[in-house]
């Protein structure tokens, strides 16, 4: 088996790349049937391609049967390696395009969730500018948790990320884009909903069940600093809204995202003077290798759209 792995790494061919792209689509779709539409080929052909790749690599990549589809441990490792390999190829294509002074290829950007309703976020304008400058470049946009965006940018799976700052990595560059204001909320069926802020105590807050993000973030840092112990752990702010509206939990939301629920009267901010914080959203990219011309152009569009250049 080891010899087969070495042979593939030493003599990577177009066939190998095609099989790896099929495997990537299957892994991300969650099975052969689900990948048919993405790949526009039949299930039997997909199955044959995966079997060929397993033979070339000398490992079993996935389990399929009555129990459903799942990657093996080796399959998960090969999937991550595939993402890094394909990202490196995209970087190479971008650098070749730089030589010819023509922007073609592919760029990937990952965004933290619920930024579209922020009036200070102008990612839409950045995308508009980028399409004007690089109409032949294909674009992938991902919505991911902060830790996944940071890891993806460091590994090269994402060319750029847009995240709230909370810690810094020496391998990443950070450039300010916009701010976001966060307040603590409860739902209309929560005991604190009718209690005026002047009567609200720290004990009232700390004794309430708290819903917070489970990944390292400003949300986690502020919650820990204020002594708020998570009773519900989520990875998306929409889940926090569901928790608030249950009447059993309190939690932080961006003011722009909470606005529609405030108008409906289903949630309200509590302890607004003390229990609030502001997030600084930044664009991140790897310091090394240097961004390709395509990636730098998208970064410039982000900065210009937010009047930061």
User: Per-residue pLDDT averaged across 27-43, rounded?
Assistant: 84
Q: Pick 103-309's CATH classification: 3.90.1150.10, 3.10.350.10, 3.30.470.20, 3.40.190.290.
A: 3.40.190.290
Confidence of residue 4 (pLDDT cuts 50, 70, 90): very low
pLDDT in tens, 290-301: 898 899 999 999
* 103-309 has the same fold as 2-83: no
Q: Rounded to an integer, what distance in angstroms lies between the CA atom of residue 126 and that of residue 171?
A: 25
pLDDT at 6: 47
CA distances (Å), origin 281, targets 33, 121, 178, 299:
39, 9, 5, 14
Confidence of residue 7 (pLDDT cuts 50, 70, 90): very low
DSSP string for residues in 138-206: EEEEEE--HHHHHHHHHHTS-SEEEEE-S---TTEEEEEEEEEEEEEEEETTSTTTTS-GGG--HHHHH
Neighbours of 14 (CB within 10 A): 7
CATH class assigned to 2-83: mainly alpha
pLDDT in tens, 99-157: 656 677 889 999 999 999 999 999 999 999 999 999 999 999 999 999 899 989 998 89
pLDDT at 56: 87
Give the Cα-Cα-Cα angle 298, 301, 306 (nearest 5 degrees): 135
Domain ranges of the chain: 2-83, 103-309
CA distances (Å), origin 132, targets 98, 141, 200, 298:
17, 17, 52, 11
pLDDT in tens, 182-240: 999 999 999 999 999 999 999 999 999 999 998 888 898 999 888 899 999 998 899 99
pLDDT at 33: 83
Residue 58 has φ and ψ, to the nearest 5°, of 80, 25
pLDDT at 66 over 80: no
User: Per-residue pLDDT averaged across 147-171, rounded?
Assistant: 91
pLDDT at 244 over 80: yes
pLDDT at 101: 64
């Amino acid at each position: 088996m080891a010899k087969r792995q070495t042979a593939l790494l030493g003599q990577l061919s177009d066939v190998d790349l095609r099989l790896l792209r099929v495997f990537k689509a299957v892994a991300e779709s969650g099975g052969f049937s689900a990948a048919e539409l993405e790949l526009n080929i039949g299930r039997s052909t997909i199955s044959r391609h995966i079997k060929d790749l397993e033979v070339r690599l000398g490992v079993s990549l996935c389990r399929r049967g009555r129990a459903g589809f799942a990657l093996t441990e080796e399959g998960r490792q090969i999937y991550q390696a595939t993402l890094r390999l394909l990202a490196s190829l995209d970087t190479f294509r971008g650098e070749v395009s730089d030589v010819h002074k023509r922007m073609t290829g592919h760029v990937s950007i990952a965004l933290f969730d619920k930024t579209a309703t922020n009036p200070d976020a102008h990612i839409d304008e950045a995308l508009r500018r980028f399409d004007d400058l690089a109409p032949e470049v294909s674009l992938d946009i991902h919505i991911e948790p902060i830790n996944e965006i940071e890891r993806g940018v460091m590994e090269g799976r994402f060319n750029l990320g847009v995240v709230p700052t909370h810690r810094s990595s020496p391998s990443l560059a950070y450039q300010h884009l916009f701010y976001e204001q966060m307040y603590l909320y409860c739902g209309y069926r929560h005991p604190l909903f009718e209690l005026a802020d002047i009567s609200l105590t720290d004990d009232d807050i700390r004794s309430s069940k708290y819903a917070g993000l489970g990944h390292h973030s400003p949300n986690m840092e502020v919650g820990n600093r204020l002594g708020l112990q998570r009773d519900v752990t989520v990875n998306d702010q929409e889940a926090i809204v569901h928790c608030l509206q249950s009447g059993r939990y309190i939690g932080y939301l961006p003011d722009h995202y909470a606005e529609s629920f405030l108008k409906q009267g289903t949630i309200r901010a509590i302890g607004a003077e003390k229990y609030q914080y502001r997030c600084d959203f930044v664009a991140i990219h790897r310091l090394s290798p240097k961004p390709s011309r395509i990636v730098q152009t998208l970064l410039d569009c982000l900065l210009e759209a937010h009047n930061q250049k």
